[in-house]
Amino acid sequence: MEIIKSTIHSSPFIGVFALATEKHVLLPNNVEKKEERRLGELFNAETVKTRLAESPLIGVLAVGNSSGIVVSGIVEEKEISHLKEKGLRVKRLAEATAIGNLVELNDSKGFCSKVVQQKTKQEIEGFLHVELKYAGIANAEVVGSSIVLTNNGFIVNPSISSKEFKELEEWVKLSGNATTANLGDVFVGNSVIANSSGAVVGSYTTGHELMRIDQGLRGAMQ
């Protein structure tokens, strides 16, 4: 697994602006061709440039896996059509806005915030073929911002309790690491995007953080 440091929109909070699954990497339209090609190779996935709700906030307004992506109810029909033309399965969630901040998942399991309605949870489970578990991580409702989960492992907000951490590992049947990114950001989902092939972390991420992120996403023991 290769990990690189970078920015998107001149920001180290790359998880706000991009989304990686095993099959696709969604990026803002202004990402340069050279960088787009580099990320496609890193993630071993097809790159797709887009906007959601006329904004570059892809990681906030969408979440997905190999089965497709679900997007915020404010995403426009023309944007959904563009994604479908690129070969993605897409479902708009009428009663969800910042869905990327509230849900995180891999190809089989995931977590969602307790503020997500049961109906919306079931829609996501059915469309993306996953099992979701309601969770509160370190007393934060923004579960999607608090964890990065791949098919191999995960990283999570270091303020998590040992009981919560054990419950995460038992649910996804993977090992992970509690860590920060971007020089102390506990909301790792805002600072890291990853799949089983690679990861991109914000440019402020320290060497110590990189080591723990690498261990967690590989599913290595702490």
Residue 113 is which amino acid? S
CATH 3.75.10.10 assigned to 2-218: yes
Percentage of the chain exceeding pLDDT 90: 95
> Does position 161 have pLDDT exceeding 60, yes or no?
yes
Average pLDDT over residues 14-29: 98
Q: Is the pLDDT of residue 149 over 50?
A: yes
Whether residue 2 is predicted with pLDDT greater than 80 in this model: the reply is: yes
Render the burial of 191-204: b for 16+ CB within 10 Å, e for the rest. Answer: bbbbbbbbbbbbbb
Three-class DSSP labels, the chain: CEEEEECECCECCHHHCCEECCCEEEEECCCCHHHHHHHHHHHCCEEEEECECCECCHHHHEEEECCEEEECCCCCHHHHHHHHHCCCCEEECCCCCCHHHHEEECCCEEEECCCCCHHHHHHHHHHHCCEEEECCECCECCHHHHEEECCCCEEECCCCCHHHHHHHHHHHCCCEEECCECCCECCHHHCEEECCCEEEEECCCCHHHHHHHHHHHHCCCC
pLDDT at residue 221, rounded to an integer: 54
Asked whether the beta carbons of 13 and 202 are under 8 A apart, the reply is: yes
Give me the mean pLDDT over the 129-140 stretch: 94
Task: Report residue 95's pLDDT band, with 50, 70 and 90 as the boundaries.
Answer: confident
Residue 25: pLDDT band with limits 50, 70, 90: very high
Average of per-residue pLDDT values in the chain: 96
The pTM assigned to this predicted structure is 0.96
Mean pLDDT, to the nearest integer, of 160-177?
Answer: 96
Q: What is the pLDDT of residues 189-206, one digit of tens each?
A: 999 999 999 999 999 999
Residue 139: per-residue pLDDT: 87
The pLDDT value given to residue 222: 46
Say if residue 121's pLDDT is above 70. Answer: yes
Angle subtended at Cα 156 by Cα 123 and Cα 5, rounded to the nearest 5 degrees: 105
What is the residue extent of each domain of the chain? Answer: 2-218
The half-sphere exposure of 104 on its side-chain side, counting CA atoms within 13 A, is 32
**How much is the average pLDDT of 29-44?**
96
The answer on pLDDT for 176 being more than 50 is yes
